[in-house]
Amino acid sequence: MAQLQPKRISPKDLSSWLNQEVTKPFLIDVREEEELNIAPFPAQAMHLPLSQVNNRLKNLQVEIPKDKSVVVICHKGIRSWNFGMWLLEQEFGYDVWNLDGGIDAWSTEISPETPRY
């Protein structure tokens, strides 16, 4: 059965997942450049601003690995949820997760040195 919506992941659970040796997820940060300049996510992530998704549509299946779970990140978890829904609707076959509360929740729960905005 196809996944109907992104799975939810808390900052704590994502932090644990990122600390695992083998099974790290593929991260996609859909925030705009200005937001990344304020509060970059402290792990390697593909930067795919929602304002530029249409320009990169034909390469998405090449850019996003099929063999990893995909965690989508934004400021509060709303834009990433919407992008995750769209990604699932494309039926590319990805295992899609959404960071609950986005980088803002990450800042308050995991990484206080990450600026809030």
Q: How many helices (H) and strands (E) does the chain have?
A: 5, 5
Q: Is the pLDDT of residue 64 over 70?
A: yes
Alpha carbons 5 and 85: distance in angstroms, whole number:
6
Supply the pLDDT for residue 2.
76
Report the mean per-residue pLDDT for the chain.
94
SS3 of residue 37 by DSSP: helix
Look at residue 117 and tell me if it is in a domain: no
Better-scored residue on pLDDT, 75 or 20: 75
64: in domain: yes
Catalytic residue among 27, 74, 87, 88: 74
Q: Is residue 94, in this structure, part of any structural domain at all?
A: yes
Domain contains 115: no
Name the most confidently modeled range: 16-25, 54-63, 80-89: 80-89
| pLDDT of amino acid 72 | 98
User: Within a domain: residue 30?
Assistant: yes
The answer as to whether 68 is a domain residue is yes
Q: Is residue 46 part of a domain?
A: yes
Question: What CATH number corresponds to the domain at position 76?
Answer: 3.40.250.10
pLDDT of residue 57: 84
Rg of the chain over Cα atoms, rounded to whole angstroms, equals: 13
Inside any domain, residue 16: yes
CA angle in degrees (0–180, nearest 5) for 6-89-70: 40
Catalytic residue flag (residue 42): no
Q: Are the beta carbons of 50 and 20 closer than 8 angstroms?
A: no
List the one residue out of 18, 24, 30 whose CA is nearest residue 86: 30
Share of residues in the chain with pLDDT > 70 (%): 99
Q: Find the domain containing 12 and state its range.
A: 7-109
Are the CB atoms for 26 and 71 separated by under 8 Å? yes
Instruction: Dump pLDDT digits (tens) for 37-62.
Output: 999 999 999 999 999 988 888 889 89
Q: What is the pLDDT of residue 22?
A: 81
Structural domain count of the chain: 1
